[in-house]
A and B are shown apart, each in its own frame.
Chain A
Amino acid sequence: MTNLKDAGVVAFMALLLFGPFLGVQLADGESNNLVLLPRPEMLGIAVGLTFIARFGFLLWHDHRPPMPGLAKLTIPVQKSGKYAAPALLVFAVLMPIIPGIANSYVDLGVLIMTYVMLGWGLNIVVGLAGLLDLGYVAFYAVGAYAYGLLNQYFGMSFWECLPLCGILAAAWGIFLGFPVLRLRGDYLAIVTLAFGEIIRLVITNWVALTGGPNGIDGIPHPSLFGLTFSMAGGPGTFAGFFGLTPSPHQRTAYLYYIILALALLTNWVTLRLRRQPLGRAWEALREDEIACRSLGINVRNTKLSAFAIGAMFGGFAGCFFATREGFISPDSFTFIESATVLAIVVLGGAGSQLGVVLAAVVMIGVPEMLQSLQVYRMLIFGLALVVIMIVRPRGFISTRRPTISLGKARVIGADMLSEGKG
């Protein structure tokens, strides 16, 4: 009975919430004015569904079987992590050469890998150094435009530009990092967001250099030691050199291996740095800035290095994005990109490398699979963010193995860390 009443109250709230939006629709009238078209059936369905969902949830809540403790659940996850990571790696390496795999899946793999790399890059800033960065897409944009412009004006190739993109993005990371050294928490978040928007707005408005909203077209794809992946075949192409029939699959697989190598480089650098003084300083900074100062850690250099290295990988990823798409425009570098990458890091369990991979597969792979639902794709994406956060606020992988410990290394719960505070 109480359940019914509760569900009734929720349904009434739903009626108020959905009333103006589902109950009526704005439409253009005959004499160039707006009219309202009523659609009560839609409102009825929505409110009815809310009632049933709430009632069902309450019933389930009352009668659900006792859940195994979270601590018990996380230990097998942690243990399987030891095998899951190499298994995933083997799968990732072999994926494009599985016989008969559709080109679209490899392409999806490229997309997911790009976000894995971005996630790992941002993880350095947010997960390790604990600096909340809402404008990470700025460095992605710097990398993409660096390649696009260097190619357009100086005809430089992808492989010549790749290191330059990383260096330029890192320089921007330091340049934008300087003013925000003193800021903490949400002040830092809003200023990084502002920088991300500034870079996008400058790209949009500096039409003479960047082409403005029209973007840069015709960016060449990368070559393999001078062999191109042209569909025409013949001498000088990959297919011609190896005597194969040209197919789009070869190019996609090549792109896939480039981004896989870049992503693994990011991961390797992060894992190595975590064992070195710099990485330990980052983690110490995340936990307590004042203690760091007291112990003589140079907070300024530590923060700037986190920004610079995170930005560098963002720049690499941007460069790759430009060469993959062949076309870049400011629309690809909106705040929603930053939010997606940050969501991947947090959903994975900030600081966890394997978590980022899982989160990227879920966040990027699943919406791509839902292409048929076009209009509702982003709606579901937003809803999923909320639901996943409520169910697993600490992300998919919520345990950590401290990089250094007294005596035997033990796994701790992520609630003992303080990510994103600084």
Chain B
Amino acid sequence: MAYALQQLINGITLGMIYGLIAVGYTMVYGIIGMINFAHGDVFMIGAFIGIIVLTALTGITSVPLGILAALILSAALCGVYGFSIERVAYRPLRGSFRLAPLISAIGMSILLENYVQTSQGALERAIPSPFPGGITLMNENGFIVQLSWMQVAITLVTLVTLAAFTWLVTRTPLGRAMRAVEQDAKMAALLGIDTNRTISTTFVIGSALAAVAGVMFLLYYGVIDFYIGFNAGIKAFTAAVLGGIGSLPGAVLGGLLIGLIEAFWSGYATVAYKDVAVYSILAIVLMFMPTGLLGRNEVEKV
């Protein structure tokens, strides 16, 4: 019981991070229908900006303030990254044939990984946990269930970010424009919506969310390297597909599910095969629900 509770807590924390990245995938997919393979690497860049800011501010400001600065700076700079990536690698290919943006995105992903590797080195970089300790929830025969402060912080920051994001998408003119472009880009353009700007904004927002996830990942695990983007990106994309790509609640749901599967599989089966479990469940779900859990079933017209 206690063990299961601990895995549940770990799984939800991990799922929150995946969910934040998955939202970026699903937004981009919804609006221009392409897999943004470089998104996982934007997450990695976010984590690196986080560690650089935290290192720069060590001893200058208090810890919570430093983390806030890392979150904001990382989100802002990753927004610039997202904007530039779209502008350089994807916009010239919009409306071209389907595989071209995919290859361009894979190229972008390789480029970003090696850019960070050559500029910051291939070594793993570690920082000490800023808030050690936590709340002890339960003590069952010596097995202590602990909810660490870091997990609380991650959950809170994720929920606040997602709430702000939901408000943005559902209540603001920008969100309305985004949803309009998603439904029918041509019609939206005819009605006076600047589609290019809306798509750019989507990339900026998606990348900022990935940056937040990156900083959280850094704080939670304390260790990053230039390669973390690949694995996290694939998992988050799996989450987006599992939830039904294009659906925002689906992305968060998918992220949580992936996090829970990973945590429980590591806890009760073998750690080595946790990724195999995630991918197998993805394949099984898609076999029976080919558009994911919350995806719309598109009717193909002839």
Q: Which residues of A contact B (CB under 8 A)?
A: 13, 16-17, 19-22, 24-26, 33-36, 126, 132, 179-180, 182-187, 189-191, 193-195, 197-198, 201-202, 204-205, 290-291, 335-336, 339, 342-343, 346-347, 350, 375-376, 378-379, 381-386, 389-390, 393-394, 414-415, 417-421
Contact = CB atoms under 8 A, between A and B. Distances in A.
B234 interface: yes
B111 A382 contact: yes
Interface stretch (B84-92, B137-145, B194-202, B259-267): B84-92
B55 A389 contact: no
A385 B107 contact: yes
Interface residues of B, number: 70
Nearest to B110: A382
A21 B120 contact: yes
Interface stretch (B15-23, B175-183, B285-293): B285-293
B35 A389 contact: no
5 contacts: A194-B238, A197-B234, A198-B279, A204-B272, A386-B111
Nearest to B295: A187
Contacts of A182: 287, 290
A187 B110 contact: no
Interface centre among A20, A22, A291, A342, by most B CB within 10 Å? A20
Given A17-B80, A26-B120, A198-B280, A394 B104 contact: no
A21 B103 contact: no
Instruction: Give chain A's interface secondary structure class.
Output: helix
Given A390-B89, A390-B92, A415-B97, A194 B282 contact: yes
B302 A419 contact: no
Contacts of B292: 187
A187 B109 contact: no
Interface of B: 29, 35, 48-49, 51-53, 55-56, 58, 77, 80-81, 83-84, 88-89, 92-93, 96-104, 106-121, 125-127, 230, 234, 237-238, 241, 245, 270, 272-273, 275-276, 279-280, 282-284, 286-287, 290-292, 300, 302
B186 to A, nearest CB: 19
Given A179-B283, A379-B111, 14 more contacts: A33-B58, A186-B245, A187-B286, A198-B275, A201-B273, A202-B273, A336-B110, A346-B102, A379-B118, A385-B108, A390-B93, A417-B97, A420-B102, A421-B98
A376 B118 CA distance: 7
Nearest to A127: B99
B261 to A, nearest CB: 13
Given A20-B77, A35-B55, A191-B286, A375 B275 contact: no
A96 B98 CA distance: 39
B93 A393 contact: yes
Contact of A346 (B103, B109, B270, B276): B103
Contact of B119 (A22, A33, A343, A386): A22
A342 to B, nearest CB: 7
A183 B286 contact: yes
Given A202-B276, A291-B302, A389-B100, A20 B93 contact: no
A367 B110 CA distance: 14
Nearest to A350: B99
Contacts of B119: 21-22, 25
Contacts of B53: 20
Per CB-CB distance, the 8 closest pairs between chain A and chain B, nearest first, are A385-B107, A382-B111, A382-B110, A194-B279, A393-B100, A379-B114, A393-B96, A389-B104
